[in-house]
Amino acid sequence: MVFSSIPFLYYFLPITLLLYFITPKKHKNKVLLLSSLFFYFYGEKKYIILLLSSAIFNYIMGNIISKNKKKSLLIFTILIDFGMLFYFKYTNFFIENINTLLKTNISIMQIILPIGISFFTFQASSYVIDVYKGDIKPAKNVLEFTTYLALFPQLIAGPIVRYEDIQKEMTNRKTEWKNLEKGLTRFIIGLAKKVIIANLIGEFIIALSGIETPTILSTWLQAISYTLQIYFDFSAYSDMAIGLGLVFGFHFKENFNYPLIAKNITDFWRRWHISLSTWFKDYLYIPLGGSRNGTKKTIRNLLIVWLTTGLWHGASWNFIMWGLYFGILLILEKFILKDFLNKHKIISYIYTFIIVIISFVIFSLNETELIPFLKSMFGLNNLNISNFETIFYLKNYFIILLIAFIGSTPYVKKIYLKGKEKWKIISLVEPIFIVALLLITTAFIIDESYNPFLYFRF
C-alpha cells in the first residue's frame, strides 16, 4: 500500500485515524501497532513474520545488552540484523559476481526483497547500539518497541527514526488539534509534490528516453529530470511520513533541507536524506575514527562509509559507483577544493549542481546504459545539439520543470510565511486551498497509471 493510492487515502487512513482518536490513551499504541502491521501485511504478506521477528529479537537483545554491557552481545546482534539484510538484499548480487569472476555456475536464489528492510534494520541496529552505549534506556515492553519499529508512516521508505528521538513520545504524547492540522497539511503538500510534480517529471523522462534521435539537449534534460524526480519523490514521501507522524503526536526530524541549493557536496549531504547521512556518520564514520587519526585514515574512513552508502541503496554496481563517486568528491573537497570553492561562490554552486546531476545519472542507469549516456551528455556520440522532437517535449513539460525548480528552493515557503504574517486572509484561505489540493491530487491519482515510489526498492 502506497500513500499516493486511493485505498490508503480513503480507506486505511480515515479508519486508522478514527480508531486512534476514539481509543483511550493507554491503548493508542495498540491501535498504531495493529494498523501498522496491517499496512505492511497488505503489501508484504510473506514477510510480516520477518518484521515481527526482527522486533522481538532486537527487543530481547536490547534488554540483555542493557544488563550485561558486553561488546560480544552487541556484535552478535548486529551480525544477525545485517546478516538478514545481506541475505535478502545482496546474496544474488554476490552470486552473480562470483559466477562472472570465477566462471562458476552457482544457481541464482529465488529471493524477494522485503519492502523497507533497509530502513527497519537500520532503526533496530541503532536502538541496540544506543542501549549498549547507555544513550537510551531499553523499551518498557515488546509492544512499545514493535510499535516503534513498525510505525507505518516511516516503515517502508523512512526517514530513519532513532528510538532516542521519540522514546518519550512512545508513552507520553499529546493528541492536539494543531498537530492534526499541521500534520495533515504537511501530508497533503507532500502528496501533491509526489503525484503532481514527481510523477509528471517521471513521464517526461519516459518521453525523453523514447526519442527516436537523442540529442545533447535531450540527454541533459533527462539527467536534470532524474535529479528532480528523485528529489521530489523521496522528499515528498518524507513530508508525508513527517506529517503523519505529527498527526499521531510524533515529531520526526527533517530529512531534507533544500539540497539542490547546496554550495558544495559536503553541504549537499547535510541537506539530502539527513537521517541516512547522520546514521552513517554516527554509527560508522565516527566509530572508525572519523577524521581524528590523520589524512590516510580519514580517506580510508570516508571511502568505507561511501562504499557502504552506495551498497545500502541497492545490490548493483551503479550504486557502488554512485557511493564511491561521492566519497572521492568529498575527499577532494576536504583536502584540495575547500578553499577554492569558499572563495568562488558562483563557481561553487554551478560545480555542485552539475556534480549532483551527474550523480543521479549514475544512480538511475545500469552499468550498460551509463557510459553511452554520459558520452551523449558531453557530445562524444556525434549527437546534434537539439531537434524538433526534443523541443516539442520541452515545450510540453516546461511549466512542470519550472515549478519543480522553483519548488526545490526555500523562496516559495519564505514568501508564503511573510505573506501569512502580513495578511490574515491567507490563513483563512489556507484550509480551502489544502482541501482543493487534495481533490486535485486525487483526480491525478485516479487518472494516472504512472505512480511509483522510487525508494521502495531500497
Q: Binning pLDDT at 50, 70 and 90, where does residue 1 land? A: confident
* 19, 31 contact by CB (below 8 A): yes
Percent of the chain with pLDDT over 90: 82
pLDDT at residue 226 greater than cutoff 90: yes
How far apart CA 233 and CA 407 sit, in angstroms, is: 13
Task: Write the CB contacts of 188 (distance below 8 Å, at least 6 apart in sequence).
Answer: 243, 434, 437, 438, 441
- For residue 84, give the amino acid letter: M
Residue 365 zone, left/alpha/beta (φ > 0; ψ -120 to 50; rest): beta
Lowest mean pLDDT of 163-172, 183-192, 301-310, name the range. 163-172
- Enter the DSSP assignment of 455: G
Q: In sequence order, which ranges of 103-215 are alpha helices (DSSP H)?
A: 117-133, 142-150, 163-171, 177-192, 199-209
- Enter the DSSP assignment of 264: S
Computed from CA positions of residues 271, 272, 273, 279, in that sequence, does the dihedral angle turn out positive or negative?
negative
pLDDT tens digit string along 356-408?
Answer: 999 999 999 988 899 999 999 999 988 999 999 999 999 999 999 999 999 99
CA-angle at 249, arms to 140 and 241, nearest 5°: 105
pLDDT tens digit string along 175-215?
Answer: 888 899 999 999 999 999 999 999 999 999 999 999 999 99
CB atoms within 10 A of CB 157: 24
pLDDT tens digit string along 309-353?
Answer: 999 998 999 999 999 999 999 999 999 999 999 999 999 999 999
Chain-centroid distance, C-alpha 454: 9
pLDDT at position 456, please? 55
pLDDT at position 153, please? 94
CA-angle at 361, arms to 256 and 84, nearest 5°: 65
Q: What is the rounded average pLDDT of the residues 121-135? A: 96
pLDDT at residue 158 greater than cutoff 90: no
pLDDT at residue 75 greater than cutoff 60: yes
Quick one: 329 exposed, middle or buried, by C-beta within 10 A (0-12, 13-18, 19+)? buried
* C-alpha count within 13 angstroms, C-beta hemisphere, residue 16: 25
* 191, 441 contact by CB (below 8 A): yes
Domains in the chain: boundaries: 6-173, 179-457
Computed from CA positions of residues 372, 373, 374, 376, in that sequence, does the dihedral angle turn out positive or negative?
positive
CB atoms within 10 A of CB 288: 16
How far apart CA 327 and CA 322 sit, in angstroms, is: 9
| Residue written as grid cell 519516459 | 206
Q: Which one from 27, 273, 313, 344 is the annotated catalytic residue?
A: 313
The whole-chain average pLDDT of the chain stands at: 93
Verify whether residue 313 is a known catalytic residue. yes
In this structure, what C-alpha cell is assigned to residue 325?
Answer: 563517486
pLDDT tens digit string along 233-268?
Answer: 999 999 999 999 999 999 999 999 999 999 999 999
CB atoms within 10 A of CB 270: 14
pLDDT at position 454, please? 63
pTM over the 0.75 mark: yes
pLDDT at position 368, please? 87
Return the SS3 of 198.
helix
CB atoms within 10 A of CB 159: 26
